């Protein structure tokens, strides 16, 4: 489908350049990765690019090789002095499908890559030093197909969950349509009971985070058992610690779950993770 004319906020744009953006806006047809950048170094670079390539294979979008993506990042570094002088930044990589007609797409589509570098988000230090308040979201997570486990550009489910978040809470857990735990609005959730660390099964719904995998590997190194489970929220009544994690926050310990008090940053796992993150 050919774009004949395009304007953004009344300013005319090149129609050819706008086509991938039009698809991304209309259909959420693409993927993204959010990467923490510390002293110009993207953290977990290989893991993020692997997840991007895996998602692209599911959607049928061609993605450049790792060397090309690294060259794009190096070009950004050389052309943007502010990146070099900033200690902490956020790199967002977007992969958009270039071609298609309405809902119809070629078996294999060319992709357009966008690198966005953003300021590091500011959040209260108490989220780490004390813990957060959280509970169950009233918005269910859409599940049931492989593409629903991808970091696609369609984030309306999370937007609506965030809009429904009580003002006193900083995060919430979404359940699937069967009432089983899945993930946080912007994070993964995990909980400890005794010497076992649990996290929900995300098959066909929910994003398996890079930080989640890093924490689970570290926990196993400390001798904790790790289990991926399909459970309802009732199991959290027996949790000794609950945490949320993603690539930017690292982890947030929970000091108040629904109407129940938890140790928050004083929990044994939270303290070990805090020392590890330093």
Q: Dump pLDDT digits (tens) for 64-105.
A: 888 999 998 988 888 887 777 778 999 999 999 988 888 999
Q: How far is CA 176 from CA 96, 138, 149, 173, in A?
A: 27, 11, 12, 10
Give which of 173, 192, 193, 191 is closest to 183, Cα–Cα.
173
Over residues 5-33, mean pLDDT: 77
Over residues 209-238, mean pLDDT: 97
- pLDDT tier, 169 (very low <50, low <70, confident <90, very high otherwise): very high
Percent share of the chain, pLDDT over 90? 77
The whole-number pLDDT of residue 23 equals 82
CATH architecture of the domain 6-119 equals: 2-Layer Sandwich (3.30)
Domain boundaries, the chain: 6-119, 126-277
Give which of 126, 140, 203, 213 is closest to 170, Cα–Cα.
126
The whole-number pLDDT of residue 1 equals 56
Distance from C-alpha of 243 to C-alpha of 273, rounded to nearest angstrom: 10
The whole-number pLDDT of residue 9 equals 61
Is residue 213 predicted with pLDDT exceeding 80? yes
Q: Indicate yes or no: pTM above 0.85.
A: yes
- pLDDT tier, 17 (very low <50, low <70, confident <90, very high otherwise): low
Over residues 129-154, mean pLDDT: 97
| CATH fold of 126-277 | D-amino Acid Aminotransferase; Chain A, domain 2 (3.20.10)
Percent share of the chain, pLDDT over 70? 94
- pLDDT tier, 12 (very low <50, low <70, confident <90, very high otherwise): confident
| Torsion 126-167-152-149 (CA) sign | positive
Over residues 24-38, mean pLDDT: 93
Mean pLDDT of the chain: 92
- pLDDT tier, 63 (very low <50, low <70, confident <90, very high otherwise): very high
């Amino acid at each position: 489908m050919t774009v004949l004319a395009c304007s953004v906020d009344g300013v005319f744009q090149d129609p050819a350049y706008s086509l991938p953006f039009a698809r991304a806006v209309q259909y959420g047809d693409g993927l993204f990765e959010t990467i923490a950048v510390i002293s110009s170094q993207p953290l977990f670079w290989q893991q993020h690019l692997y997840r991007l390539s895996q998602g692209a294979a599911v959607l049928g979008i061609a993605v450049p090789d790792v060397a090309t993506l690294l060259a794009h990042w190096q070009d950004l570094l050389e052309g943007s002095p502010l990146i070099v002088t900033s200690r902490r930044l956020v790199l967002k990589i977007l992969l958009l499908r270039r071609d298609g007609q309405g809902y119809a797409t070629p078996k294999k589509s060319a992709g357009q890559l966008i690198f966005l570098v953003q300021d590091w988000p500011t959040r209260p230090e108490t989220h780490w030093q004390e813990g957060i308040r959280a509970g169950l979201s009233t918005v269910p997570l859409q599940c049931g197909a492989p593409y629903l486990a991808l970091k696609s550009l369609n984030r309306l489910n999370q937007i609506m969950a965030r809009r429904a978040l009580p003002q006193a809470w900083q995060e919430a857990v979404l359940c699937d349509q069967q009432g089983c735990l899945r993930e946080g609005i912007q994070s993964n959730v995990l909980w400890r009971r005794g010497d076992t660390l649990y996290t929900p099964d995300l098959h066909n719904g929910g994003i398996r985070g890079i930080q989640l995998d890093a924490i689970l590997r570290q926990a196993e190194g400390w001798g904790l058992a790790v289990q991926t489970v399909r459970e309802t929220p009732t199991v959290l009544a027996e949790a000794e610690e609950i945490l949320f994690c993603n690539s930017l926050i690292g982890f947030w310990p929970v000091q108040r779950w629904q109407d129940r008090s938890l140790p928050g940053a004083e929990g044994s796992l939270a303290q070990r993770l805090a020392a590890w993150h330093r």
